[in-house]
Amino acid sequence: MSTPTIQRYQDIDQEWRWRLLGSDGHPLADGTIAFADGSALGDHLDWLRGAILSATIVTDPDAVPSSPTIVIHEGTDDEWRWRFEADADHVADSGEGYATVEAAIEAAERTQSAITNATISTWNG
């Protein structure tokens, strides 16, 4: 895999979801919203590419500015994670936890860059 890829797929309930894979195939982000059909997901991905670029990254979950925002927070596993929020919806999150706040911020920034340049494929796993 030479460029980041957004994988579209249907879950066990036949709803459409997405995940972002880095150029090395490693998961960078998971979408958190399910869609009834592939065209609705496609519209969402078009919106997401622009919205995530304009997102402000914050490290205080209680001081979230106007939407859209990437919130860095401590997970239940004592690792740092990020989540993307827009219009009071939790839209995406990190696929893994990070040891430090700085590492979570770097991961969020990598995701912002990768998602805008990613190709889209459909996974029929």
Give the tens place of pLDDT for each residue, 38-56: 999 999 999 999 899 889 8
Query: Which pLDDT score is estimated for 125?
Result: 66
Question: What pTM, to 2 d.p., does this model score?
Answer: 0.88
CATH architecture group of domain 5-119: Roll (2.30)
Contact criterion met (CB below 8 Å) for 92 and 34: no
E-assigned strand segments in the chain: 5-10, 16-21, 27-31, 56-58, 69-74, 80-86, 89-94, 119-122
Print pLDDT tens along the chain (125 aa). Answer: 578 999 999 999 999 999 999 988 889 999 999 999 999 999 999 999 989 988 989 998 777 667 799 999 998 888 999 999 988 788 999 989 999 999 999 999 999 999 988 999 998 86
Q: Is the dihedral of CA 39, 45, 51, 55 positive or negative?
A: positive
